[in-house]
Amino acid sequence: MARIIVVTSGKGGVGKTTTSAAIAMGLAKRGHKTAVIDFDVGLRNLDLIMGCERRVVYDFVNVINGEATLNQALIRDKNCNQLYILPASQTRDKDALSQEGVGRILDELKKDFKYIVCDSPAGIERGAFLAMYYADDAFIVTNPEVSSVRDSDRMLGILSSKSRRAEHNEEPIKEYLLLTRYSPERVKLGEMLSVDDVQEILSLHLLGVIPESKSVLNASNSGTPVILDEKSDAGQAYADVIARYLGEDRPHRFIDEKKGLFGKLFGSK
Amino acid sequence: MLELTQFLTSLTQRMPTDSQHSNYHPPALEFKSTTFSVPVLVLANNDIVIIEHQLQEKIQLAPEFFKHSPVVIDLQELNKQDLNIEISELVNMLRSLDFLPIGIRGATTQQLKKALELAIPAHTGQNQAPLTTDNTKPQPVKPTPVAEPSPSTASTTLIAQPIRSGQRIYAHGDLIVLAQVSAGAEILAEGNIHVYGSLRGRALAGVQGNIEARIFCSDLQAELISIAGTYKISEDLTETVRNRPVQICLQNNTLTIKDL
Ligand SMILES: Nc1ncnc2c1ncn2[C@@H]1O[C@H](COP(=O)(O)OP(=O)(O)OP(=O)(O)O)[C@@H](O)[C@H]1O
Ligand SMILES: [Mg+2]
C-alpha cells in the first residue's frame, strides 16, 4: 500500500523543503519507489534543492488541468532512479490547485509509487490544506523556538480535524516530530528550546533531531539533498530519520553538545 | 443579570399535499417537525447600554461561539417588574454584536407588535408572561410541549487526543479531556470540565449559566478559566496554583481555585 507523507509546519522557513528532499531521497535510496511533490505553487524551490530546475517542462498545475500527463511531468532524479519529482508551477497563483484535482493525481501516483512525499507551503491556508488533506503520515517540522512550536501545534489541530481521514472518521494521520536547525550549544545557553521543552508542548513521536549545519546550505547550493552527504551531521541525522520511520531502532545522536575528549572519556554531566 | 438558557422550539405542522392537482409533480417540499437548541437571552435589566456592555464581556470569552448565534429574547423577568424596553433598539444592538435574534418570548402585546414589525416571531414556552399588560388575572401556565433538557441528562463528551492551538471544543454536558489542551485552544462545556493533561488553553465551564459547574485539572497553566461567565486570566493566577492539580468553582460569585 502506498503511503502519502506530508511535510508541514505552519511556520515558514523552518526546513520543510530541505526535509522533503532529504526524506524522499532517503526512502528512494532504500529501494522504495518514491515521488516528491512541490505544493508551493508560485514559490517553487523543491526543484532547486533537488537540482532538477533546468529539466522542468510541465508542472503539477499542468497535470491537474489535463495539459500534460503525469508521466510527462514527473522528473526522474539524476542520482537515484527510484525517485521522481513533480515540480510546482512558478507562474500560476496558488488557487490553481483544486482539491478534487489533487486527489485525482495522488490516486494515480498511488498505483505506481510506494511513498508520495508532499512538500507543504508555509501557513495554514489553501496550499497547506491541500498538501495535508490526503496524507497518511505527517512529518511536523519544527525549529526549537516558541513561535515555531506554537504554529506546529496549530497545524496538528488542523491535521486532526480537517484532513480526509478526520472527515471520514478513519484512523487519524500518524504524526511525527522532526526538530530541525537544532543547536545543542544554544540550547545550553538558554537561547533555544530543548527537545524536552518542545515535547512538553507537542508530545509527539520524535522521529529525529536535525542539527543546525553548514552542510545544508552546501547541499542546496549544489542541488543534492543533504542526505547524500553521508559524512555530514545533518545527512546522518536524516538517514536516522528514515531508519526510524521504517521501523528500525536508532539512538538519537545529535541532541547533546559535542563533548570534549575528557567528556567522552570520563562522562560528563 | 444576563442568563443564557436552553430553549427548545418545535414546529409540528405538516402541510397536506395537494392531491387535486391534475399535473403530477413530485413534491418539491415537505414540512417536517424538528427541534432546535437555541440560546435564550433572559434580561433582568432594561438599560440597553448595560446589556450591551455585559454581552460584549460574554462574547470576548468565546467570540467564535457567539458569532452569528441565533438567540431568543426573553422579557418575562423585565415585564414582571414592569420594566419596559425598546424592542427595536434591543434588536439593533443584538444585531450589531452579530447575534441573530430569531424570536421573543415573555413579551407584552405592544412589544410583540414591535417584534413582528422587525420580522421576529413570538415564541411560547413555559416562561410565557401575560401577553397583555391590561390583563388583570394571570393566565394559567400552560404545560410546555417539549421538556427542557436538564443539565444532568446531557451526555458526557470524552476526548482522548490533545486539543491543539486553534481548536475549539463545545460540550453540551460535561467534558473530559484525557490529554493536554494547548495554548491557543478553547474548550467549553455547559457542565463540568476535567482535563487530565496540562491545561494551557482556555477552559470555560457552565457556559449556559450553570454556576454549579466546576473545572478540574491536573496541571493548571491556563490562559483563561471561566465558570458561568466569571473568569480569571492567566495573569490573575498566582504561583501557588500554577502547575498544580486544582479544582475551580464559583463561591459567592468569585472564582475559587483549590488544591485537589
Ligand atoms: N538543519 C539546517 N541547518 C542549517 N540550515 C538549514 C537547516 N535546515 C534548513 N536550513 C536552511 O533554512 C532555510 C529554509 O529552509 P527550507 O527552504 O527547507 O524551509 P521551508 O520550511 O521549506 O521554507 P518555506 O516555508 O519558505 O517553504 C534554507 O536557507 C535552508 O538552507
Ligand atoms: Mg519550502
Number of Cβ atoms within 10 Å of the Cβ of B87: 24
Ligand 1 atom 9, closest CA:
A15
At residue B31, the pLDDT reads: 73
- Cα separation, B42 vs B227, whole angstroms: 18
**Average pLDDT value over all residues in chain B:** 78
Does the C-beta of A12 come closer than 6 Å to ligand 1? yes
Task: Measure Cα distances from A143 to A15, A180, A254, A261, B81 in Å.
Answer: 8, 5, 14, 29, 61
Task: Measure Cα distances from A252 to A115, A243, A256, A269, B188 in Å.
Answer: 24, 12, 9, 17, 39
Closest CA to B225 of B196, B187, B198: B187
Partner residue opposite B184 with nearest CB, options A150, A158, A160: A150
At residue B142, the pLDDT reads: 40
Contact across the interface for A150 and B185, Cβ inside 8 Å: no
Q: Distance from B200 to chain A by nearest Cα, in Å?
A: 9
At residue A79, the pLDDT reads: 95
Confidence band, pLDDT 50/70/90 cuts, at residue A90: confident
Mean pLDDT calculated for residue range A129-150:
97
Nearest residue of chain A to residue B179 (CA atoms): A203
**pLDDT (tens digit per residue) in B61-119:** 777 777 778 888 888 888 888 888 999 899 999 988 888 888 888 888 888 888 888 88
Mean pLDDT calculated for residue range A34-46:
92
Neighbour-count burial of A247, counting CB atoms closer than 10 A to its CB (0-12 exposed, 13-18 middle, 19+ buried)? exposed
Nearest residue of chain B to residue A200 (CA atoms): B198
Instruction: Report pTM.
Output: 0.69
Q: Which amino acid is at A208?
A: G
Greater confidence (B11 vs A131) lies with: A131
The backbone torsions φ and ψ at residue A117, rounded to the nearest 5 degrees and listed phi first, read -100, 125
A201 touches chain B (CB under 8 A): yes
Do the beta carbons of residue A208 and residue A181 sit within 8 Å?
no
Q: How many A from CA of B180 to the centre of ligand 1?
A: 30
Q: How many A from CA of B158 to the centre of ligand 1?
A: 39
Do the beta carbons of residue B178 and residue B157 sit within 8 Å?
no
Residues of B in contact with A161 (CB under 8 A): 167
Contact across the interface for A157 and B182, Cβ inside 8 Å: yes
Could you tell me where the DSSP H helices lie in chain A? 16-29, 46-49, 60-64, 70-73, 99-110, 126-133, 146-162, 164-167, 184-188, 195-202, 214-222, 233-245, 261-266
Confidence band, pLDDT 50/70/90 cuts, at residue A199: very high
Q: How many A from CA of B205 to the centre of ligand 1?
A: 42
Nearest residue of chain B to residue A10 (CA atoms): B165
- Best mutation target, B165, B170, B198, B199, to test chain A (most A CBs within 10 A): B165
Closest CA to A209 of A223, A218, A198, A222: A198
Confidence band, pLDDT 50/70/90 cuts, at residue B122: confident
A179 DSSP β-pair partners: A142, A209
Range with lowest mean pLDDT among A181-195, B118-132, B166-180, B192-206: B118-132
Question: Does the pLDDT of residue B213 top 50, yes or no?
Answer: yes
Confidence band, pLDDT 50/70/90 cuts, at residue A26: very high
**Average pLDDT value over all residues in chain A:** 92
Residues of A in contact with B184 (CB under 8 A): 150, 153-154
Q: How many A from CA of B147 to the centre of ligand 2?
A: 56
Q: Distance from A93 to chain B by nearest Cα, in Å?
A: 27
CA A226 to chain CA centroid, Å, is 13
The backbone torsions φ and ψ at residue B198, rounded to the nearest 5 degrees and listed phi first, read -75, 140
A197 touches chain B (CB under 8 A): no
Confidence band, pLDDT 50/70/90 cuts, at residue B16: very low
Does the C-beta of A21 come closer than 6 Å to ligand 1? no
Do the beta carbons of residue A170 and residue A137 sit within 8 Å?
no
Question: Does the pLDDT of residue A84 top 50, yes or no?
Answer: yes
Mean pLDDT calculated for residue range B187-205:
96
Contact across the interface for B162 and A156, Cβ inside 8 Å: yes
At residue B82, the pLDDT reads: 85
Q: What percent of chain A has pLDDT over 70?
A: 95
- Best mutation target, A132, A153, A171, to test chain B (most B CBs within 10 A): A153
At residue B112, the pLDDT reads: 85
Do the beta carbons of residue A70 and residue A108 sit within 8 Å?
yes
Mutate-to-test residue for ligand 1 from A18, A25, A94, A224, highest number of ligand atoms within 8 A of CB: A18
At residue A245, the pLDDT reads: 98
The backbone torsions φ and ψ at residue B129, rounded to the nearest 5 degrees and listed phi first, read -90, 165
Closest CA to A116 of A137, A142, A90, A95: A137
Confidence band, pLDDT 50/70/90 cuts, at residue B32: low
- Stretch 116-175 of chain B: residues touching chain A, C-beta under 8 Å: 161-167
**pLDDT (tens digit per residue) in A141-177:** 999 999 999 999 999 999 999 999 999 999 999 999 9
Long-range contacts of A168-175 (CB under 8 A, 24+ apart): A172/B161, A173/A6, A173/A132, A173/A135, A173/A136, A173/A137, A173/A138, A174/A136, A174/A137, A174/A138, A174/A205, A175/A137, A175/A138, A175/A140, A175/A204, A175/A205
At residue B37, the pLDDT reads: 61
Atom of ligand 1 nearest to the CA of A141: 21
